[in-house]
């Protein structure tokens, strides 16, 4: 009787252990693969907000924004945003070549803020932002850039390996040859442009491989890659290639599009109306991205967009409503660039008052346009 009881207890314990292990493995597998469709995920992310000029600055408060708080992300969520992009510049916080060891305090602080955003129920995008001075895509810098990206992404991936699919990585931000005639406007007939584009292809592959090797959820984590300068025109060139991935359907394309330029980004332009031509530019851009990428199973995210404040609240409302509603037709999330600046002499994209935890009065119209654009697409 005692022997039978002991055997029964052992069997029960073994069964419980097997069930527990199976449940744990299933939870990890679900986390890595959920949701199965990239399109389903973009539909959940809908619309987002950039924590700009913060961790992409030399220090969190160096460019005038306050210390980031959990309450800020709660506000972002309550305002109707589903996604936050946290641009991070790493190169100023590493030991330098060849190891590029990230400063522990900087990594710890980024981790704290990422967790605050995740706890608020947001999808989170983390990138390598103002590091272009290290990974600029010139052929003579390719080896150095690959060394840097492999080193930093290996460390970032390892630190965040246990965060689930709601954390997304973006390899680079607007990789380009600064100061060149083709810094922002790539010329397919220019050999230097095409050489730079080829380097970008290689750098995206290097960063992706480092992330995939990071263990945990990184094997199936969504990774966003950037074309040269984040440009839609560069993404449309056949010379630009998405990297080869060990995970299926987990690569996205990043686009930055302040369209139309004279209204949205040109601080020297007097244009302050949103016209039919502006609508056409947005519609044609989105149609081409849908045809070349979305329809072929590669989701697209416009993770920087915005429209300058030129004391033209109605035009900004109309622009935001049109832009977001058009993008939603193709399940392309739009992420507003918020640098925290409200003045009139520079790029004034401030949307959320990070101290008062509300939308700035001057930005109410464009904020309402963003939200109405989502509603009109439902």
Annotated catalytic residues are 174, 304
DSSP letter at 220 equals T
* CA 287 – CA 6 distance, rounded (Å): 68
* CA 228 – CA 187 distance, rounded (Å): 11
**DSSP of 357-370, one letter per residue?**
TEE-GGGHHHHHHH
Helix (H) or strand (E) holding 348: none
Residue owning tokens 């947005």 = 282
Contact 249, 37 (CB under 8 A): yes
Label residue 194 exposed, middle or buried (CB < 10 Å: 0-12, 13-18, 19+): middle
* CA 213 – CA 208 distance, rounded (Å): 9
| The pair of three-digit structure tokens given for residue 359, joined into one six-digit string | 């939308």
Where do runs of H (alpha helix) occur along 62-131? 70-78, 104-119
Q: Which of 280, 191, 177, 185 is nearest to 232 (CA)?
A: 185
DSSP letter at 299 equals -
């Amino acid at each position: 009787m005692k022997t039978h009881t002991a055997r029964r207890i052992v069997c029960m314990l073994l069964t419980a252990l097997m069930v527990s292990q199976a449940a744990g493995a299933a939870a990890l597998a679900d986390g890595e693969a959920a949701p199965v469709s990239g399109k389903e995920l973009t539909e959940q992310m809908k619309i987002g907000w950039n924590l700009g000029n913060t961790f992409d600055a030399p220090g969190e408060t160096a460019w005038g924004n306050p210390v980031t708080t959990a309450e800020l992300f709660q506000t972002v969520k309550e305002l109707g945003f589903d996604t936050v992009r946290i641009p991070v510049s790493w190169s100023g916080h590493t030991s330098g070549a060849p190891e590029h060891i990230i400063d522990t305090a900087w990594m710890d602080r980024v981790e704290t803020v990422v967790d605050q955003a995740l706890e608020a129920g947001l999808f989170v995008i983390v990138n390598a932002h103002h590091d272009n001075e290290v990974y600029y895509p010139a052929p003579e810098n390719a080896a150095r850039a690959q060394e840097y990206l492999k080193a930093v992404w290996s460390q970032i991936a390892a630190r965040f390996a246990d965060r689930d699919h709601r954390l997304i990585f973006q390899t680079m931000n607007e990789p380009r040859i600064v100061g060149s005639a083709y810094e922002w406007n790539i010329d397919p007939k220019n050999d230097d442009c095409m050489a730079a584009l080829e380097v970008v292809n290689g750098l995206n592959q290097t960063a992706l491989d480092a992330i995939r090797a990071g263990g945990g959820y990184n094997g199936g984590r969504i990774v966003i890659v950037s074309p040269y300068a984040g440009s839609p025109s560069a993404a449309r060139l056949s010379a630009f290639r998405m990297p080869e991935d060990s995970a299926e359907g987990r690569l996205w394309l990043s686009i930055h599009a302040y369209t139309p330029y004279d209204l949205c980004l040109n601080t020297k332009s007097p244009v302050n109306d949103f016209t039919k031509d502006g609508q056409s530019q947005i519609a044609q851009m989105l149609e081409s991205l849908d045809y070349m990428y979305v329809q072929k199973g590669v989701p697209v995210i416009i993770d920087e967009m915005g429209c300058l404040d030129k004391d033209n609240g109605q035009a900004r409302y109309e622009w935001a409503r049109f832009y977001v509603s058009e993008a939603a037709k193709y399940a392309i999330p739009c992420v507003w660039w918020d640098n925290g600046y409200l003045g009139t002499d520079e790029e004034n994209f401030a949307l959320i008052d990070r101290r008062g935890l509300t939308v700035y009065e001057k930005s109410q119209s464009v904020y309402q346009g963003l939200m109405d654009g989502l509603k009109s697409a439902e």
